[in-house]
Amino acid sequence: MGSATVTEANTTATAAVASDELADFDTLTGRYQRELMAHCYRMSGSVHEAEDLVQETFLRAWKASASFQGRSSVRTWLYKIATNVCLTNLEAKPRRPLPTGLGTADSAPSDELLEDHEVPWLEPIPDAAVEVAERDTIRLAFVAALQHLPARQRAVLILRDVLRWSAAETATALDTTTAAVNSALQRAHAQLAERGLSPDTVEPDLDQAQRTLLDAYLQAFWRKDIDQIVQLLKYDATWDMPPFLNHYRGTEAIGELIGTKCPGGCNDMPMVETVANGQPAFGLYMRQPDGHFEPFHLQVLQLTGCGDDLRVEHVTAFFDARLFARFGLPERLPADYVPA
C-alpha cells in the first residue's frame, strides 16, 4: 500500500514538472530541436524532410500537451511522437540511397554521366543542425545503411541501438510487443550484416595528421594537381556524386574522372571547409567567366588509417547548390579569393 502511494506521488510529481516544461513551449522547442532533428534525419535520410518532421512533432505535442500524464519524461514522449510522425511519413516512400548503394557496377571515367533527379537521394546534414551523443550515429555511411531497412525495423534499431531504449520502452513507443521489438532488431542486424553495412568510428576531433591531409587535399584541388589528389586517396577509394548515377572505384578511375570531367583548371576550384554528418566536408566553388566563384558541389569525406597511412577512403560530392546556404557557406567568392 505504501509502495503504491509512493509510486503515485512520484508520478504526480513527474507530471507536475512535465506540465511546467510543456507550458513554456519556446524553451521546450529550443531544448529538444537539435536532437529530434538528428532522430528524424536518421529515419528519413533527408535534412529537408527532417525539418518538417520535427515541426510536425512539436505541433502534435502542443495539441496533446493537456493530456500528457507524466508516465514518461517529456523527452521520451517527444521521441515517441517523432518516431510515429516519421513512420507515417515513410509509408509507401522509397528509401534514400547514395549512388554507391544502388547495387550497380562502378563506372569508367569515359562513361557518359547519367543524371537522375527522380531518385530521392540521401542528403548530408550540417553538424550545427543536430545534437548527438555519439557522432558515428549520424555518419553518412550509417544513415545510408539505415535506409536499407524497412521503416519499422529502422525505428527499432535507432531506438534500441542509438538511443539505448529498452525493448519494453521501444514496444510502448511503437504500440507493439517486446517480442516483436526483439525480432525486428534481430532482423535489422542480420540485414545490415548481410549487406556488410556498418558505421565506422568517428573521431571527435581532427588530429594533426588529419588536419595536414585535409589542408593538402584543399591545395591539390586549388592547383588541380591530379597526381597529388590521387596520392591522398586510398588505393580502392570510392567516389559518388548524386544526382548522378555514376560512381567510381580506385585512384586511377577517380584521378581520370577529375582530370577529364571536372571543368575547372588550375586556381579555378577553391574549397571552403565545413563539417557534415560528423565528417570533414568542403564546399567546392568553380570560377565563372567574369572571374568570381560560384558553388559547384559539396564534398563529404570519409578518412581511414592513421599517420603516414592516413588516406581519403570515400568522397560523396553532392551537386546541390542549395546545400551551401544550409551549411552557412558563402553564396559566391570574389575573383581574388585564394584558399588559406
- Asked whether residue 144 falls in the same domain as residue 80, the answer is no
For residue 151, CA distances in Å to 135, 148, 190, 212 come to: 22, 9, 15, 40
- Asked whether residue 215 falls in the same domain as residue 154, the answer is no
Number of H helices, E strands in the chain: 12, 6
Q: Is there a domain that residue 72 lies in?
A: yes
- Asked whether residue 215 falls in the same domain as residue 286, the answer is yes
Q: Is there a domain that residue 298 lies in?
A: yes
- Asked whether residue 274 falls in the same domain as residue 168, the answer is no
Domain count, the chain: 3
- Asked whether residue 279 falls in the same domain as residue 214, the answer is yes
- Asked whether residue 212 falls in the same domain as residue 303, the answer is yes
Q: pTM of the predicted model, to two decimals?
A: 0.89
Q: Is there a domain that residue 313 lies in?
A: yes
For each of the chain's 340 residues, which pLDDT tens digit applies? 444 444 444 444 445 445 556 666 677 778 899 999 999 999 999 999 999 999 999 999 988 887 776 667 888 999 999 999 999 999 989 999 999 989 899 999 999 999 999 999 999 999 999 999 888 889 999 999 999 999 999 999 999 999 999 999 999 999 999 999 999 999 999 988 887 766 554 455 688 999 999 999 999 999 999 999 999 999 999 999 999 999 999 999 999 999 999 999 999 999 999 999 999 999 999 999 999 999 999 999 999 998 889 999 999 999 999 999 999 999 999 999 999 8
Question: What pLDDT does 1 receive?
Answer: 45
| Cell numbers placing 230 | 590521387
Residue 33: CATH number of its domain: 1.10.1740.10
Buried-exposed string 7-42: b where 16+ CB fall within 10 A, e elsewhere: eeeeeeebeeebeebbeeeeebbebbbbbbbbbbbb
Range of the domain at 2: 1-93
Q: Is there a domain that residue 102 lies in?
A: no
Question: What pLDDT does 7 receive?
Answer: 44
- Asked whether residue 40 falls in the same domain as residue 73, the answer is yes
What is residue 338's DSSP assignment?
A: -
Among the three residues 32, 62, 93, which one is the final residue of a domain in this structure?
A: 93
Residue 294: CATH number of its domain: 3.10.450.50
- Asked whether residue 251 falls in the same domain as residue 270, the answer is yes
